[in-house]
Structure 1
Amino acid sequence: MQVDYLIVGQGLAGTVLCEHLLQMGKKVVVVDDLTLSNSSKVAGGLYNPITGRKMVKTWNCDNLFSYLIPFYQKLEQKLGVRFLIEKPIYRPFASTEELNEWMGKSAEENYAPYIKEIKDRSAYGDHVNDDFGGILLNKSGYVDTAMLINAYQSYLLAEGFYRNEVFSYDHLELLNKGVKYKDISADRVIFCDGRLAQNNPYFQWLPMRPVKGELLFVKTHTSIELIYNRGVFVIPLSDGICKVGATYDHENVDENITSKAQNELTRRLKQLANFDFEVIDQKAGVRPATKDRKPFVGTHPAHKELVVFNGLGAKGVSLAPFYANQLANHLETGDHLDSEVNIERFFSLI
């Protein structure tokens, strides 16, 4: 079989990149193992333009957020499933000073597109502790990553674009032009293999810093319509079930749920919430994060037929569409890659 691209891994990165290449008329085959765990499937899936303790615009926000919503909407239409949930995020203020700061920022051209409303007094006190008011964000929501990945996997299987197997480096041959993998000949192979990149003999020099994250699923009798985010995020799903997260563990990088994480998330949720809740489930996954918190995008310095698209971390839902598009255009037309994500920044480590 002759293809343009062989993609290794069908998490969020592999899914989104594959779609961009197919839209460009390229022939693609994805190799992944259906039995392997996938951190993308247990991710919070939140896309949030203003983040962090200091509440600043997320890195490269304007580029990312102008692209991601139209991309996901178009993919929903193609797959015939709904996985993009556009929903305001409400973040309570911790003090009058924080309220005053955001009253000023809301008038700034830099922030205005992402601010739906500033509440100068309690607006959702029945649900959360917001004595000082809060900020209601625009261009926010979440992606049901498990639904997206499973639906796209079904599409790839139906089209004959999917190989259900563990990728074997022993079967990858680098040729004078292109690569050969078993019966597949490809111009390039793109590794979207998440945390497994640490075992990749061609890219293991990249400074991956995997981070374990745990989530809770809680049941409440309160009807919640917004996403709440302070200390923890609370994402309403359906039938009174909410997703609550997340933890960040750099030391115990496994996929086992822990009572420590449950206790920590429960404690933080109680500080935020005024609604009743019961923990009904818990999930854990390992995010493919990086040393500098920026993705790994680009081609191997010695083998131009080897490409990496990885390290999307906790903000993969926001990062994947824009940088998949940039990488696809880079490979096909030679367009530049942003220096912040180009793996050239780590060539000195080889």
Structure 2
Amino acid sequence: MHNSGEIDYIIVGQGLAGSALSYQLIKEGRKILVIDEDNPHTSSKIAAGLYNPVTGRKMVKTWKADLLFPYLISFYKELEQICSAHFLREVPVYRPFISLEEQNEWMGKSSSPEYIPFIKEIYCKSLYSFANDPFGGLELLQSGYLDLPVFLEAYRDYLKKHELLDASRFDIGQLILEKEFVLYQGIRAKRVIFCDGLNSAEQGYFQWLPFSPVKGEILRITADFRLKNILNRGVFVVPLENGLFRVGSNYDNNDSTLVPTVKARNEIERRLNELAKVEYNLEEQVAGIRPATKDRRPFIGLHPEYETIGVFNGLGTKGVSLAPYFSRHFMRFLEYGEDLYAEVNINRYFSLYYDSLEN
């Protein structure tokens, strides 16, 4: 734990958001303390960690891809050096075409400056004998996955080494707000930033934000086939090591439990069978709740009433690609007063806060 009683920032939560933001602040020379009890069930530790510039059923370039993807790769590589660990896996995503029309459409896009940085190759015939890709597919650049458990543990060790981690549960009842600083268990900080996922939706100063939690489940299978890409169409298949693959995911807005379900397994296996004809054994099934938002944009900014309290949350299903760029974006706002994008600034929901005071 930090020895100083006076610091710049308390960061609550060491998931993807808290890790990224705390590192940006450390790079700026700020004194920080991360408070995190290391809950094994957070969505950051269970998620597949994919980053992919072309997503969705309609295969469209993801929001702000031109800003997000070049930066995320350099960001995670820098952290690999800092943490002396390897967790960024640069693997081309292969997305099969579902029709000849789609193939032709992407042949046209392949010469567009908007898409050239993200296209490795376009295949007009099947790439894998076991895949359902008779029209070929799109092989992407700037894609892969972050090994989240390895990343979070390595960065946690880095924080411990530098005495920047309090490995206890944050007790919001002990947070004292003053006009220009906050106090917490004898520590004085200029600001406290909540990066604690769904905890903020359930308690504290940001309950009024329109979180839209989404449950997702992932299978781990063993199979005897070779895959040099991440397959992704309706379901993702991520090659790991020793014949292991991670397969997922589903989206459930109605189930808020962390219990894996037969319904989800059947759905994922059905989609896997539609994508590839392979024999496999199910080894494990895990579930997590993603801190998604109603408009699918992050929650970033300061509380409407208390400028010493901030939030960096709601990264949802694309956290690995959003966290690096937007942690820097938030840091620039906090430290240098640069404007936040309107799409992510929580002031877009301030009316909900004032409505909550009347109820």
Q: TM-score range by the shorter chain?
A: over 0.9
Q: Deviations over 1:228-247 (max 9, x none)?
A: 00110001011110110101
Q: Deviations over 1:255-303 (max 9, x none)?
A: 1111111111111111111332111001110000001000000011111
Quote the residue 1:227 is aligned against: 230
Q: In structure 2, give the amino acid aligned to 1:257.
A: P
Off by >6 Å, runs of 4+ in structure 1 = none
TM-superposed CA distance for 1:154, in Å, is 1.3
Quote the residue 1:344 is aligned against: 347
Quote the residue 1:207 is aligned against: 210
Quote the residue 1:106 is aligned against: 110
Quote the residue 2:221 is aligned against: 218
Q: Provide the TM-score with structure 1 as the length reference.
A: 0.98
Aligned-pair identity (%): 50
TM-superposed CA distance for 1:36, in Å, is 5.1
Q: Tell me, which stretches of 5 or more residues in structure 2 are unaligned? A: 354-359
Structure 2: distance between partners of 1:133 and 1:65: 25
User: Does the alignment pair 1:52 with 2:56?
Assistant: yes
Matched residue SS, 1:206: coil
Which residue, out of 14, 21, 28, partners 2:18? 14
Q: In structure 1, give the amino acid aligned to 2:84.
A: G
TM-superposed CA distance for 1:201, in Å, is 2.7
Q: In structure 2, give the amino acid aligned to 1:30.
A: V
Which residue, out of 60, 85, 92, partners 1:88? 92
Q: In structure 1, give the amino acid aligned to 2:83.
A: L
Quote the residue 2:131 is aligned against: 128
Q: Tell me, which stretches of 5 or more residues in structure 1 are unaligned? A: none
User: Does the alignment pair 1:4 with 2:8?
Assistant: yes
Q: In structure 2, give the amino acid aligned to 1:256.
A: V
2:179–2:308: 8 Å Cα contact kept in structure 1?
Answer: no
Quote the residue 2:245 is aligned against: 242
Which residue, out of 35, 38, 48, partners 1:34? 38
> Residue 35 and residue 49 in structure 1: after superposition, are their counterparts in 2 closer, same or farther (change >3 A)?
closer
Q: In structure 2, give the amino acid aligned to 1:191.
A: F
Which residue, out of 69, 74, 90, partners 1:70? 74
Structure 2: distance between partners of 1:119 and 1:331: 46
Structure 1: distance between partners of 2:271 and 2:213: 23
Q: In structure 1, give the amino acid aligned to 2:100.
A: T
Matched residue SS, 2:198: helix
Quote the residue 1:296 is aligned against: 299
Q: Provide the TM-score with structure 2 as the length reference.
A: 0.96
Q: In structure 2, give the amino acid aligned to 1:109.
A: P
Q: In structure 2, give the amino acid aligned to 1:15.
A: S
User: Relative to structure 2, which stretch is displaced further, 199-208 or 316-325?
Assistant: 199-208
Structure 1: distance between partners of 2:251 and 2:179: 43
Q: In structure 2, give the amino acid aligned to 1:250.
A: N
Quote the residue 2:189 is aligned against: 186
TM-superposed CA distance for 1:155, in Å, is 1.3
Which residue, out of 316, 322, 327, partners 1:324? 327
Q: Deviations over 1:130-166 (max 9, x none)?
A: 1111111111000011111111111112221111111
Q: Deviations over 1:166-210 (max 9, x none)?
A: 111110000132100012110000000101111233111100000
Q: In structure 2, give the amino acid aligned to 1:120.
A: C
Structure 1: distance between partners of 2:244 and 2:164: 35
TM-superposed CA distance for 1:111, in Å, is 1.0
Q: In structure 2, give the amino acid aligned to 1:335.
A: E
Structure 2: distance between partners of 1:34 and 1:297: 23
Structure 2: distance between partners of 1:139 and 1:198: 32
Structure 1: distance between partners of 2:204 and 2:13: 16
Q: In structure 2, give the amino acid aligned to 1:166.
A: R
User: Relative to structure 2, which stretch is displaced further, 43-52 or 194-203?
Assistant: 194-203
Q: In structure 2, give the amino acid aligned to 1:122.
A: S
Structure 2: distance between partners of 1:42 and 1:121: 35
How big is the alpha-carbon RMSD for the aligned residues of Structure 1 and Structure 2? 0.9
Structure 2: distance between partners of 1:29 and 1:123: 49
Structure 1: distance between partners of 2:259 and 2:154: 26
Correspondences of 1:236-275 after superposition (within 5 Å): 236-275=239-278
Q: In structure 2, give the amino acid aligned to 1:341.
A: V
Kindly tell me the number of residue pairs found equivalent between the two proteins.
349
Which residue, out of 270, 283, 288, partners 1:285? 288
Q: In structure 1, give the amino acid aligned to 2:347.
A: E
Matched residue SS, 1:62: helix
TM-superposed CA distance for 1:51, in Å, is 0.4
Quote the residue 1:119 is aligned against: 123
Structure 1: distance between partners of 2:177 and 2:343: 28
Structure 2: distance between partners of 1:275 and 1:165: 45
Structure 1: distance between partners of 2:127 and 2:176: 61
Matched residue SS, 2:285: strand
